[in-house]
Amino acid sequence: MPLPAKLLVDIHTHVYLPRYTALLRSRSSVPLIRSIVNSEGVAEDRLLILDHEPSGGRPVGPQYWDREEKLNFMDKHGIDISVVSTANPWLDFLPASQAHTLASELNNDLEEYCSTAPSVASRQIKRLYGFGLLPLVPEITTSALLDIVKQIGELPHLRGLIMGTRGIGRGLDDEALEPVWAAIEKAGLVVFLHPHYGVDGSAWGDKDNGHVLPLALGFPFETTTAATRLILSGVFDKFPSLRLLLAHSGGALPALSSRLASCIDHDPVVASRLKHDARYYLGKLYLDAVAYGPEELGFVSDVISRADKFETGSSAKAAPNRSAGSKRMLFGTDHPFFPPLSASEKWKSVTENLEAINDVQGWSEEDRSGVRGENAVALFNL
């Protein structure tokens, strides 16, 4: 019997479940989905996620909510398994009691979405797994959050949870979240940290550049800021087994990590706060491989692999080992975002990320297949 082919696993792929879409359609303030008639006279749904959305919102359709569309997209691109997450803005805009109820309902919906999906041919695994949602909103109680962590931990096809960067209103470096980190760590769930708000829009100026600046820069800046604040808060010292997966290859964090370490070393307020050099903590992270270029991916794997050198007391001096660093990197597509502007068989946003994985200098074929899928199989225990 031939060995089964290596799996291609997409760990960065989003859905707006029907229950969530219905809520967005019912709303009269952002976030919402509204129907418009577009410039060609055709009815079209537009999603407005944030106030002052450029270009009148994002055209949306069944690829945002219909499971068949997700499976079709996976088939078209040779993706065996997707670990699906609700896209932003999650539950951020809801009052606490509604967020609590809806988180529970959406987690059950996502479990059903996955558990009733087809299986991978000739394997005992499903084609869909999921990241659940926590009701991370102001005034939520710790016990409500812990209830939902427990729920996610008990739903067999949910293997982690997605969260934004605001926590319960004061960011992820809020001490009030420590019991939540402890529970997530204990449950062995993967936290997928994903941006939503970007940065203050005044930085983008008054030219119309579409969504480019908030998406290309604002999103990575937000992730970078949140992860840096987590490092500075000592969360990784307190919860060393916490498994945090950063969207978009960690944004700018890998590139700014030596600058961060230097700024910490030179600032009397924080210089002696952490157990290790800031770069050590990057080796504890997981990063998706959604960076669109092989040089970017190679660099990220360097940064992960050098982390051990920065453990306090380490005498390691070796040059970075890209193979070792690749073990914490995982393929993703960001589907259904970034559709091609003109009709094409495959999505460029997907093929670019696959080509990037293929073209990284210094990765072996084993490293590449790890990033394409085997690392996800291990991380999510598929």
Ranges within 165-194 binding a second copy (CB under 8 A): 170-171, 173
Stretch that binds a second copy, among 16-24, 122-130, 143-151, 262-270 (CB under 8 A): 262-270
Binding window for a second copy (CB under 8 A); candidates: 28-36, 94-102, 111-119, 291-299: 291-299
CB of 297 vs a second copy, minimal distance in Å: 9
Q: Which listed residue (164, 254, 336, 370) binds a second copy by CB under 8 A? A: 254
Distance from C-alpha of 240 to C-alpha of 235, rounded to nearest angstrom? 8
Chain positions 16 to 55 lying near a second copy, rule: CB under 8 A, are 54-55
Cβ of residue 103: shortest distance to a second copy, in angstroms? 24
Find the binder of a second copy among 5, 22, 176, 271 (CB under 8 A): 271
- Determine the Cα–Cα distance for residues 20 and 22; give it in Å rounded to an integer: 5
Tell me the two tokens of residue 338. Answer: 């970034």
Shortest distance in whole angstroms from residue 182 CB to a second copy: 19
Four-point Cα dihedral 91, 163, 136, 14, nearest 10: 20
Round to whole Å and give the CA distance between 59 and 95: 27
**Interacting residue with a second copy among 5, 36, 203, 318 (CB under 8 A):** 203
Half-sphere CA count of 163, side-chain side, radius 13 A:
28
Amino acid code (one letter) for 35: S
CA 330 to chain CA centroid, Å, is 11
Q: Shortest gap between Cβ of 300 and a second copy (angstroms)?
A: 9
Question: Residue 61's Cα: distance from chain center in Å?
Answer: 22
CB of 290 to a second copy, least distance (A): 8
Of the ranges 94-102, 128-136, 177-185, 208-216, which one interacts with a second copy (CB under 8 A)? 208-216
Among positions 229, 237, 311, 351, the unique one binding a second copy when judged by CB under 8 A: 229
Contact 246, 285 (CB under 8 A): yes
Q: Which of residues 314-373 bind a second copy (CB under 8 A)?
A: 319-320, 338-341, 348-349, 352, 356, 359, 361
User: Could you say whether residue 225 binds a second copy (CB under 8 A)?
Assistant: yes
Interface with a second copy, residue 213, by CB under 8 A:
yes
Find the part of the chain contacting a second copy (CB under 8 A) among 9-17, 28-36, 156-164, 244-252. Answer: 244-252
Tell me the CA distances in angstroms from 43 to 39, 40, 61, one per residue in order. Answer: 9, 9, 11
- Geometric angle at alpha carbon 180, from 177 and 183, rounded to 5°: 155
In angstroms, the CA 20 to CA 108 distance is: 12
Q: Choose, by CB under 8 A, the member of 32, 155, 255, 377 that binds a second copy.
A: 255
Binding mask 126-165 toward a second copy (x if CB under 8 A, else -) reads ----------------------------------------
Choose the binding region for a second copy from 9-17, 74-82, 127-135, 265-273 (rule: CB under 8 A).
Answer: 265-273
Q: Which long-range contacts (CB under 8 A, 24 or more apart) does 150-155 make?
A: 150/183, 150/187, 151/104, 151/107, 152/107, 152/187, 152/189, 153/187, 153/188, 153/189, 155/107, 155/108, 155/110, 155/111
Using rule CB under 8 A, residue 60 touches a second copy: no
Q: Please, what is the Cα angle at 213 between 172 and 372, to 5 degrees?
A: 70
Interaction between residue 206 and a second copy (CB under 8 A)? yes
Nearest CA among 121, 184, 189 for reference residue 157: 189
Of 121-129, 150-158, 254-262, 371-379, the window that binds a second copy (rule: CB under 8 A) is 254-262
Total chain residues near a second copy (CB under 8 A): 75
In the block, tokens 């499903």 appear at 126
Q: Between 185 and 359, name the residue whose CB sits nearer to a second copy.
A: 359
Q: Does 312 bind a second copy (CB under 8 A)?
A: no
Tell the residue number behind the tokens 């579409």, with chain if given. 210
Is residue 6 a contact point for a second copy (CB under 8 A)? no
306 lies in the binding site for a second copy (CB under 8 A): yes
Residue 164's SS3 state is: coil
Minimum Å distance from CB 252 to a second copy? Answer: 3
Q: Are 299 and 249 in contact (CB under 8 A)?
A: no
